[in-house]
């Protein structure tokens, strides 16, 4: 089944086909991502699936495609169970597979952009863990 052709879109464009799309990650990069960003790629699959389902009530956004390391990628931002804005980097693979490349808490600038596009402005309950994403409406954006 050549879904991009049927949809009239390039092969590299991000897409989700219910019942067909799989989400994966490179298991050899699990420890690196956890050490570098404090998030498990395994948990990224869980959050990404929840963010993409139409029953989700949390804000979510996806970037236009960009090229990095010779492959076309997309960035997605959403909200984790603790209220933190998180960022996923993905690429499309064969057989309608979404490969998660990275999963981390969004930077201060990314949080601000997320707020500007979605209006999401929830106060983070654990400021000591905020790392730039404490969007407290009483204080405005962190400087």
In a domain, 27, yes or no: yes
Query: In CATH, what number is assigned to the domain containing residue 30?
Result: 3.10.450.530
Kindly list the distances between the CA atom of residue 40 and the CA atoms of 29, 33, 44, 118, 123, in Å, as whole numbers in the listed order: 10, 7, 6, 25, 24
pLDDT in tens, 120-142: 886 444 444 444 454 433 333 23
Range of the domain at 73: 3-106
Query: pTM of the prediction?
Result: 0.64
In a domain, 143, yes or no: no
In a domain, 112, yes or no: no
In a domain, 102, yes or no: yes
Q: What is the count of structural domains for the chain?
A: 1
Q: Which stretch of 54-58, 87-91, 101-105, 109-113 has the lowest confidence by average pLDDT?
A: 54-58
Element (H, E) at 90: strand 85-93
Kindly list the distances between the CA atom of residue 116 and the CA atoms of 17, 34, 123, 132, in Å, as whole numbers in the listed order: 29, 28, 15, 16
In a domain, 120, yes or no: no
Per-residue confidence (pLDDT) for residue 143, from 0 to 100 = 27
In a domain, 97, yes or no: yes
pLDDT at 8 over 70: yes
Residue 41 CA, distance from chain mean position: 11
């Amino acid at each position: 089944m050549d879904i991009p052709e049927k949809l009239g879109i390039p092969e590299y464009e991000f897409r989700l086909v219910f019942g067909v799309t799989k989400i994966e990650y490179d298991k050899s990069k699990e420890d690196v991502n956890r050490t570098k960003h404090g998030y498990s790629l395994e948990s990224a699959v869980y959050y990404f699936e929840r963010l993409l389902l139409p029953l989700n009530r949390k804000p979510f956004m996806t970037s236009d495609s960009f090229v990095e390391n010779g492959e076309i990628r997309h960035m997605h931002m959403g909200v984790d169970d603790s209220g933190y804005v998180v960022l996923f980097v993905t690429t499309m693979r064969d057989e309608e597979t979404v490969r998660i490349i990275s999963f981390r808490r969004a930077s201060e600038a990314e949080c601000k952009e997320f707020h500007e596009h979605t209006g999401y402005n929830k106060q983070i309950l654990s400021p000591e863990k905020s790392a730039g994403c404490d969007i407290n409406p009483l204080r405005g954006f962190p400087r």
